[in-house]
Structure 1
Amino acid sequence: MRPSLLRLSLLAAFLSAAASSYAQDQSEDEFAPKLPERSIYEAMLEANKPSGWVQFRNFAGGQYLYFTMLQVMRCRLSEVRYSINSTALDQRFPLGPCDPQQPFNVPDDPDNRYVYLKLKAGEAVTVTVQAVWDDGAGSEIITYRPCDNVGESACARIKAIDRPEVKPDAPKPASQSR
């Protein structure tokens, strides 16, 4: 397993065990799952910023952009805005359905819609990304570039960080998912 995915898996396992909270249902024997607080997700986003909210990989003659880390956070996100080779944030990456019983698992994805984009080799020089929380507040805007000599491992390096002083308006429904 790649180091960044291992770190992400360990963090998700820890948070699932430590932060999962349950709301008591009508019967004392039944408990309904409740999503962890947003602060847990914010800490995850911050912790994964240096290694990449998205990651680049060269594989099988193409370039892949992985959105795995953001999918792990999908239960508290309303959308993921991104742009390739610009800072326009003019595209939306689809988020898988949230399962409150497994809020940090990567969604089942037999059609590979939720984990990565496949591009032409070398197509993405940079990717700018912003996570939008379930209340419409936007995260920092981070521009990533591939690691030097990225090869077949998945990685990213921060090129720029934009910390907007004013939170963006609530997002409009995305018409373009990929």
Structure 2
Amino acid sequence: MSGISRISRGIAAAMLAAMAAMPAFAQESDEDEYQPELPDMSMYKAMLDANRQPGWVQFREFSGKQLIYFTALQTMRCRLSEVRYSVNSEALDQRFPLGPCDPQQPFNIPDSDDPGKFMYIELPPNGARTLTIQVVWADGSGSEIVTYRPCDNVGEGTCARIKKIDKPEHKLSAPTPAGQSR
């Protein structure tokens, strides 16, 4: 089973559980059409939690390159303000671009003329031994910090294994790059 399939199943399970707990709202205006609203933040946090084990990122060796996919996190972009990561360190000194949010399709993968812009980073073969990542929610709070490594013998499939999980000591108010004080 591919990593993408595991991610999709994890996302779907989290979404169904959160949607079942959401109250139904009647439209309160005289407009002809229902105005889309983003699902509650709790749904997105459940999705992130459900995807921790299969991987917030996925590693793949393909066509002489190492690709690291951020697909699962793009499906949560409407409630994220930032994705912080670092390759082969824990500095969290890089940012992965989030696609624009479309409230009508909040979980779709963003369109782009550049196929990798919102999907993956490209490195030399076996370039990343680890990738450390943290997401920052729209309210400024940060997720736990997770370090992933490629699965053994992943080849052209996609896979990630958790190497380490750190809990942030305090709520983030405004993330700053590594080396700068808060």
TM over 0.5: yes
In structure 2, the partner of 1:161 is: 165
Match of 2:107 in 1: 104
The TM-score with structure 1 as length reference comes to 0.87
Q: What is the alpha-carbon distance in structure 1 between the residues aligned to residue 128 and residue 6 of structure 2?
A: 20
Which residue does the alignment assign to 1:85?
88
2:51 maps to 48
1:7 aligns with 2:9: yes
- Aligned residues of 2:7 and 2:54 also touching (Cα < 8 A): no
Q: Report the Cα offset of residue 170 of structure 1.
A: 1.6
Cα shift readout 1:4-28 (whole Å, capped 9, x = no counterpart): 2442564487479766976736325
Percent identity between the two aligned chains: 60
1:120 matches 2:124: yes
Q: What root-mean-square deviation, in Å, do the aligned CA atoms of Structure 1 and Structure 2 show?
A: 2.4
Matched, 1:74 2:77: yes
**Residue in 2 that maps onto 1:38:** 41
1:144 corresponds to 2:161? no
Alignment coverage as a number of residue pairs: 173
How many Å separate the matches in 1 of 2:24 and 2:146? 31
Distance apart, 1:42 and its partner CA: 0.4
Helix, strand or coil at the partner of 1:34: coil
Distance 1:15 1:109, change over 3 A: farther
- Looking at structure 1, the residues matched to 24 and 57 of structure 2 have their Cα atoms a distance apart, in angstroms, of 28
Which structure 1 residue ranges, 5 or more long, are not aligned?
174-178
In structure 2, what residue type is equivalent to 1:7?
Answer: R
Return the offset for 1:135: 1.0
Structure 1 residues 20 and 146, CA gap change in structure 2 (3 angstroms) = farther
Deviates more, 1:19-28 or 1:76-85: 19-28
